[in-house]
A and B are shown apart, each in its own frame.
Chain A
Amino acid sequence: EDQVTQSPEALRLQEGESSSLNCSYTVSGLRGLFWYRQDPGKGPEFLFTLYSAGEEKEKERLKATLTKKESFLHITAPKPEDSATYLCAVHSSTGNQFYFGTGTSLTVIP
């Protein structure tokens, strides 16, 4: 069964304290893995797409990586404005389906 699992559910960091969020997936055929950021009262906002193992993407303090089983979102020297829920989604070739994880709620304390 296709599945996406994110960990941890919640993460509190001091400003400047780097960390990583995990997205593990089990799909029979990966067409793409997407990272989104969601602020309260808003829809998810696209961050990155990764298509194959070994691929990396960077944007400001964020870096996403992909292996055959999981993806990591690395946050370097986070700031309070990075506080949000980060969602991972996969596009599976089986039935051309889309699955979202339940997200990691990140709080960065000044």
Chain B
Amino acid sequence: DAGVIQSPRHEVTEMGQEVTLRCKPISGHDYLFWYRQTMMRGLELLIYFNNNVPIDDSGMPEDRFSAKMPNASFSTLKIQPSEPRDSAVYFCASSTRTGAANQPQHFGDGTRLSIL
């Protein structure tokens, strides 16, 4: 099993530029999550999908953030325009569900984003 694959691993860009983060979930997982991790706030859930449909995007900080899942094997998180306060590590995770309980989420190794 290849695990959750994220790209790029590192991204450095200037303020105002568009940033696109990519994620390939584990095959067969029908839930996909995007998180942001900072020292101050820890891991924050931004949005999650079930069967490619966004279920809860209440954690998305602003309209500058958007996420899509065009098919079961690919998702993107886009920031446009980017700002220095968006600098963080962004994680993608996937899971499946048994009955009413979600199975553990499996995480990628993250994208470290630096906005100058």
> A residues touching B (Cβ–Cβ < 8 Å)?
31-32, 34, 36, 41-46, 49, 51, 87, 89, 91, 93, 95-103
In the complex, residue of chain A having the shortest beta-carbon distance to the beta carbon of B104: A46
> B residues touching A (Cβ–Cβ < 8 Å)?
4, 33, 35, 41-45, 48, 55-56, 91, 93, 100-110
Are B42 and A100 in contact, CB atoms less than 8 angstroms apart? yes
Partner of B55, one of A51, A91, A96: A96
Residues from chain B with Cβ under 8 Å of A96 in the complex? 55-56
Q: Which applies to chain B's interface (DSSP): helix, strand, loop or mixed?
A: strand
Are A32 and B110 in contact, CB atoms less than 8 angstroms apart? no
Residues from chain B with Cβ under 8 Å of A46 in the complex? 104-106
> Can you give 16 A-B contacts (C-beta < 8 A)?
A32-B101, A34-B104, A42-B110, A43-B93, A43-B109, A44-B91, A44-B93, A44-B107, A46-B104, A87-B43, A89-B43, A89-B105, A91-B102, A97-B45, A101-B42, A102-B42
Are A49 and B42 in contact, CB atoms less than 8 angstroms apart? no
Q: Which applies to chain A's interface (DSSP): helix, strand, loop or mixed?
A: strand
Q: A97-B56, A103-B42 are in contact. Are A43 and B4 (CB under 8 A)?
A: yes
Residues from chain A with Cβ under 8 Å of B55 in the complex? 96
Residues from chain A with Cβ under 8 Å of B41 in the complex? 102
Residue in B4, B41, B103, B105 with the greatest tally of chain A CB atoms within 10 Å: B105
Q: How far is the CA of A36 from the CA of B93 in the complex (A)?
A: 13
Q: How far is the CA of A90 from the CA of B1 in the complex (A)?
A: 26
